[in-house]
Structure 1
Amino acid sequence: MEREYDLLVIGTGVAGSDIAWHCRAAGMRVAITDSRDYGGTCALRGCVPKRVLAGAAAAVARIRDLSGRGVPGEVSIDWPQLVAFERTFTDPVPRRKEESFRRAGIHTYHGSARFAGENRVAVGGDTLTARYIAIAAGAHPRPLDVPGADLVTPSDDFFYLEALPGRIVFVGGGYISFEFAHVAARAGSATTILQRDGRVLTGFDPDIVDRLVLASKEIGIDVQVHMPLVSVERTAAGLRVRAGRAGEEKVFDADLVVHGAGRVPAIEGLDLAAGNVETDRRGIAVNEYLQSVSNPAVYVAGDANRASPQLTPVAVRDAHIVVDNILHGNVRTADYSVVPSVVFTTPPAASVGLTEAAAKEKGIPCIVNAGDLSGRFTNRSIGEKHVGYKLLVDGDSRRVLGAHLIGPHVEEVINVFALAIRHDLTVDDLALDAIPWAYPSSVYDIIHMIYPLVRK
């Protein structure tokens, strides 16, 4: 069957949903489709279930850290019960999402979408023609080109394991592996992280990462670097992982091997060439308006954009930019220069703005102030000893250029620094004389981070 629309959206995650709803509210005829359950990565296979698991791990960590400090007793994670609780968040999403589209008058489709022309997309037995097509298809784990790759469990499936195995190997040293490893370790599994080169968590400041690696090792996580995956094979006792450089390979036995080695845009099945949509190995090529450089009818939001940091808030902002540009004619541009990011371990680590290495590479003169806050009573009182910071400040203007943190609540504190960078605030603007931050709080500890930099 052939149908015509003003807009077709591919993907039902946060970006695709926002584009569909806002354009429908503006009076457009809108259709949306997805090859998987409605809801997208964040709601079903990312942020939401991750926060549930990480919250349980943090609760266990906090009680254990306070052992001998007035909180006696043992605590543990009941994995089946935790996953059942997690599913109360995820299971209702597909039905609710699809019902919300239908109530809004958005036509819903299911199945793999494939371009059949610059303005035509085939979904199952239907061919949909649209003036605009928005691609918000999200991402999936990067294919692993090694023997036994089919034995590796996608990170998406970790959320729904019925039982947690005793030995888990995580392939890749990014935030997915670290977050899951911290949950698994707190739940009693022996966990190993294999990183192909010498640095884990490459998007974060190396000094902050060193603190996090130390915290990880202290709870039993074995972090192995220079360990590219070579093969996975099944044995009578479980799985055997071979990793390492040629001639220096090591063997790791496991009950479960989890893919945490990066994600790529989920666009390979769209037949983008048939739609004259230019791509490269990183994703779809777009201009500053998030519009395809080769097909002006196509806009891209979220992970499918080759320049995207692949974070949910970025996808949401992309969606709003795409909506405005579709409705009003390319009036907004995308800017990824100030994007805070967090790894939800225990303790969490966070980053925004320039790193030291990036500042040096760009030739930007700056003052670097780093320190340890584990002695602050706000941290001692909860038994957290891995707390630190590094700030980068422009030597002349005294503007904040970068902030890198580890410790309790840094996922909140980092937003203060993001706001400061976005609005060119100086360290003096963050000082106690300027703002009497709520006390005692983790945000108040900004005062101690910037004290040596503030004008006396």
Structure 2
Amino acid sequence: MSHLTSYPTATHDLVVIGGGSGGLAAAKTAARLGASVVMIERAELGGTCVNRGCTPKKLMWCAAAQQQGLKEMAKVGLTDKPPFDFAALRRRSDAKIDRLNRHFEEDLQQAGVHLLRATAEIDEGGQVHAGGDIFRPGKLLLATGARPRALDIPGGELAATSDDVFRWADLPGRLLIIGGGYIGCEFASIFAALGSEVQLMTDGNRLLEQFHAPAVDCVQAGLEKQGVTIGFGCKPVKIDLNGAMFKVSFDDGSIQYADRVIAAVGRVPNTDNLGPGLQGIAHAKTGALAIDERFQTSIPGIYAIGDVANRLPLTPVATRDGACFAAQHFGAGADQINLDLVPKSAYTIPPVAQIGSLSEGQDDGEVIANLASDVLDDGTAANSFFASTFVDDILTGVALVNHAAPEMIAPFAALLASGATAEALAAVTGIHPSFAEETVGP
């Protein structure tokens, strides 16, 4: 780094490396609290969520859910299913993301944050080198996010990741997805609805291990009714390009062919390539940086939020943690949010959502016919699901599978936080006919 020392060194209250959801929230909040803030971002503002994650995924899911509805209408003779223009979806999605990128930059400008487009490196003295400048931060906040985990097998580089998928301009005819978590199941459902022939393979014995197993059974049934073929207990060992097709060999001796392959095998926190100043920094078992209740890492003066830190790798958590960090260090103080009250959802068709803990066997829940879709039901429509768990008559967990599940789960989180009782939920009457009425009342 000595070749950079001829440049002047600027001192700021806060230097933020990474312009994703967490970094943006921290930088804007700190600046509005009077801090001198520099944000360093080498790519697009908004991070993974906006550019290569939940935003383009949700846009794809909305189109896929509409297309799935048209398929169901066509099956019962109510309409002809029109062709789908995947390239047009990509153009509309890109335009939406471009507007968000510009909005984030305007927000930073209005808050008084200095934005530097560059790659950052931290030297042994804790100074930050970026774009030919050197910054001496009062506090240094790492918000560098995470990236898709690559397949560590021969030919693994031939598989696309979620980053690649959102750049596709056309729809694959045959798609093979490796991985049964959030990303794998969401892409399987989306691409099946859009018209691809989809196969999903996982080395586990079930899908979506983070969710209530009976709810996942309902999700799996929905995937299978969409035409997704699912294989369990097998690991890929090699990928070859066989002419225009990909040939994927598995450890059980099976071979699958596809036009494209997606590796959906998890994500890796971006803790590397930040320079010698992070040498010896402590990591948690997840691979993310270990932090305390004030987001400080094992190196004094260096803090971390978002997917690079050992918290839940969810956008709302990163955003809340960014604002919390700024309030702790430049404002009147704040406590970290309770991760037990953060709901989760996977955007399959229909989606699954969950809050709290559910004790399987106490109340496994029930599959519920979707009254709103009965007119379209030709015997293959996916059903809904509801489960709730109570301990000493107090609500401790809820799992939902329904198109409304991601919207409904936050009010259930509020009920859980407030200590709602079984009696309170039984006293409520829902709207008829609706899925929501199945979640309340006696």
Q: TM-score, normalised by structure 1?
A: 0.89
Distance in 1 separating the partners of 2:86 and 2:192: 12
Distance in 2 separating the partners of 1:369 and 1:154: 34
Q: Is the 8 A contact 1:370 1:390 kept in 2?
A: yes
| Closer/same/farther in 2, CA of residues 97 and 275 from structure 1, 3 Å limit | farther
1:316-336 residue CA offsets vs partner (Å, 9 max, x unmatched): 111122112112486423421
Partner of residue 164, structure 1: 171
Partner of residue 184, structure 2: 177
Name stretches of at least 5 consecutive residues in structure 2 with no aligned partner. 1-6
Q: Is the 8 A contact 1:324 1:332 kept in 2?
A: no
Q: Does 1:445 align with 2:438?
A: yes
Give 2:374's aligned amino acid: R
Distance in 2 separating the partners of 1:13 and 1:268: 17
Partner of residue 389, structure 1: 386
Q: Is the 8 A contact 2:214 2:365 kept in 1?
A: no
Q: CA deviation at 1:157?
A: 1.8
Q: Is the 8 A contact 1:290 1:334 kept in 2?
A: no
Q: Aligned ranges for residues 355-394 of structure 1 at < 5 Å? A: 355-356=358-359, 367-368=362-363, 370-374=365-369, 377-381=371-375, 383=377, 384-394=381-391
Distance in 1 separating the partners of 2:13 and 2:280: 19
Q: Is the 8 A contact 1:172 1:194 kept in 2?
A: yes
Partner of residue 335, structure 2: 332
| Closer/same/farther in 2, CA of residues 274 and 43 from structure 1, 3 Å limit | closer
Give 2:398's aligned amino acid: A
Q: CA deviation at 1:129?
A: 1.1
1:22-73 residue CA offsets vs partner (Å, 9 max, x unmatched): 1111111100012322221111111111111100111111222234657322
| Closer/same/farther in 2, CA of residues 59 and 387 from structure 1, 3 Å limit | same
Q: CA RMSD in A?
A: 2.2
1:185-242 residue CA offsets vs partner (Å, 9 max, x unmatched): 1121111111122122111111111121121112121111112121111111321111
SS of 2:342 mapped into structure 1: coil
Partner of residue 429, structure 1: 424
Distance in 1 separating the partners of 2:383 and 2:83: 22
Partner of residue 354, structure 2: 351
1:77-106 residue CA offsets vs partner (Å, 9 max, x unmatched): 211111111112112333442343234321
Q: Is the 8 A contact 1:119 1:131 kept in 2?
A: no
1:392-447 residue CA offsets vs partner (Å, 9 max, x unmatched): 111x2x1111111112211112222211111111122223x3x4545544333312
Q: CA deviation at 1:111?
A: 2.7
Give 2:304's aligned amino acid: V
Q: Is the 8 A contact 1:111 1:123 kept in 2?
A: yes
1:139-164 residue CA offsets vs partner (Å, 9 max, x unmatched): 11013211112111121121120111
Distance in 2 separating the partners of 1:219 and 1:331: 46
Give 2:238's aligned amino acid: S
Partner of residue 304, structure 2: 300
Partner of residue 256, structure 2: 252
Name stretches of at least 5 consecutive residues in structure 1 with no aligned partner. 358-365, 452-456
Larger relative contact order (Cα-Cα within 8 Å, sequence gap ≥ 6): 2
Partner of residue 14, structure 1: 21
Distance in 2 separating the partners of 1:77 and 1:266: 36
Give 1:344's aligned amino acid: Y
Partner of residue 417, structure 1: 412
Give 1:289's aligned amino acid: R
Q: CA deviation at 1:367?
A: 4.1
Q: CA deviation at 1:253?
A: 0.8
Q: Aligned ranges for residues 104-119 of structure 1 at < 5 Å? A: 104-117=111-124, 119=126
Q: Is the 8 A contact 1:34 1:110 kept in 2?
A: yes
Q: TM-score, normalised by structure 2?
A: 0.91
Question: Which one is further off, 90-99 or 332-341?
Answer: 90-99
SS of 1:117 mapped into structure 2: coil
Q: Aligned ranges for residues 31-110 of structure 1 at < 5 Å? A: 31-67=38-74, 71-110=78-117
| Closer/same/farther in 2, CA of residues 440 and 103 from structure 1, 3 Å limit | same
Distance in 2 separating the partners of 1:257 and 1:299: 37
Distance in 1 separating the partners of 2:418 and 2:39: 37
Partner of residue 323, structure 1: 326
Q: How many residues are paired up?
A: 431
Partner of residue 342, structure 1: 345
Distance in 2 separating the partners of 1:81 and 1:331: 44
Q: CA deviation at 1:377?
A: 2.6
1:107-166 residue CA offsets vs partner (Å, 9 max, x unmatched): 112232222135312224222110111111111101321111211112112112011121
Match of 2:272 among 243, 268, 275: 268
SS of 1:290 mapped into structure 2: coil
| Closer/same/farther in 2, CA of residues 143 and 324 from structure 1, 3 Å limit | same
Distance in 2 separating the partners of 1:424 and 1:381: 38
Q: CA deviation at 1:369?
A: 5.3
Distance in 1 separating the partners of 2:382 and 2:101: 41
Distance in 2 separating the partners of 1:117 and 1:19: 24
Distance in 1 separating the partners of 2:332 and 2:289: 20
Partner of residue 362, structure 1: none
Distance in 1 separating the partners of 2:39 and 2:401: 40
Q: Is the 8 A contact 1:288 1:334 kept in 2?
A: no
Q: Is the 8 A contact 2:23 2:143 kept in 1?
A: yes
Partner of residue 289, structure 1: 294
Q: Is the 8 A contact 1:351 1:403 kept in 2?
A: yes
Give 2:342's aligned amino acid: V
Distance in 2 separating the partners of 1:367 and 1:198: 22
Give 2:309's aligned amino acid: N
Q: CA deviation at 1:276?
A: 5.6
Partner of residue 454, structure 1: none
Give 1:286's aligned amino acid: I
Q: CA deviation at 1:277?
A: 3.2
Q: Is the 8 A contact 1:167 1:189 kept in 2?
A: yes
SS of 1:345 mapped into structure 2: coil
Q: Is the 8 A contact 2:350 2:401 kept in 1?
A: yes
